[in-house]
Amino acid sequence: MDLTFAESLAETQLVDRVSIVVSKSRILVDGVDIGIGLVRNEAGQLSIAPEYRRGMLVSPLYDYLIEKWESRQILRDLTQRDEKFQSEILFVVDREVPHGVVADVMYTAGQSRFGGFHFVVHNSWMDGLTTIDSSLPIIGHSGLHTPRYVFHIELSKTGLTVKSSSALPVHLPCSGPFCNGVDDYDWDGLNKLLVTIHDEYPDIKRYVIVPERSISYEVVVRAMDIARWGPTLSFHANKEQWQQWQDGRQELFDRPIIAGGVE
C-alpha cells in the first residue's frame, strides 16, 4: 500500500481514537514518529529493533498509549462527561510488513487498554480504501471454545490450512513448493471451502486467522478479503462483472480474530 494517504490520515484529529501507521522503516502514532525503528534480522525479515522492546512490549508505544489513555480519562473527569474513551485504533500497515510486527504492536496496544482495531486496507476489487475491524490478537494458537462451531485459518509458507472443531483439517498447498507471494496461495480453493462451511453454519460470523510470524501483512489482508464474501471475484474483473458480483454475492465471515502468530 502507498502510505502517502495513511500518513496524511494519521495527521488528522481522530475523535477518541489513535492512529498507528507501520511502514517498512518506522512507526507513526497520531502522525508523529515516536522513535521506533524496524530492522532486518539475519533471515532478512523485518522486525522491531531489540532496543525498543521491554519483554513482549514495544516500550515507546506502550508509554505513549498509556499516557494517551490516562489523559483522556482526566479530561473526561474534569468535564464530567459520561462518555467513555473508545480505546480504538485506526491501523495502517505496509503490505510487506510481517505479521509478527503487527502482532507485537497489537499486543502492546492491548496492554495499554486499547481493544478495538480498524484496519485501513486497499480494496483490490474497488481500487480504493476500506476498513476491516478486528479484536485483540491471541498469543499462539487460539484457545477459543464454543459449543456450536469454531474454525481457524492457518497461513504458512507452505499454504493454507483450515481447522475446525468438527472436521479434519483441510490443507490447500501453494502453487509451487512454497508461497513466495500473495498470489501463490490457493484463494479460490479457500473461498469455495468457506462457502461450504457457511452453508452448513449460516449463523457463524467469527473465525480466527493464525499466521506464521513471517507471513506478510498483505497475505493476512487477502485472507480476510476472501473470507468476507462468496463466491470470490477475480481482481481483474471489469466493471460489469463487478456489478453482477455485487448483486449476487453472499456475506460469509466478517468478524476475524487475528492470532498473535506462531513460530
Boundaries of every domain in the chain: 4-136, 151-259
Averaged pLDDT score across all residues of the chain: 79
Tens digit of each residue's pLDDT (9 = 90 or more) over 54-113: 877 899 999 988 888 887 777 666 665 555 545 788 888 888 899 889 889 988 988 888
Q: What is the pTM of this model?
A: 0.72
Residue 137 has pLDDT above 60, yes or no: no
Reported for 194-198, long-range contacts at CB under 8 A and 24+ positions apart, including other chains, are 194/162, 194/226, 194/227, 194/230, 194/252, 194/253, 195/230, 195/231, 195/250, 195/252, 197/151, 197/162, 197/164, 198/230, 198/250, 198/252, 198/253
Share of the chain above pLDDT 90, in %: 27
Residue 230 has pLDDT above 60, yes or no: yes
Q: Pick the residue with more confidence: 126 or 231?
A: 231
Q: Pick the residue with more confidence: 135 or 174?
A: 174
Mean pLDDT of 206-220: 91
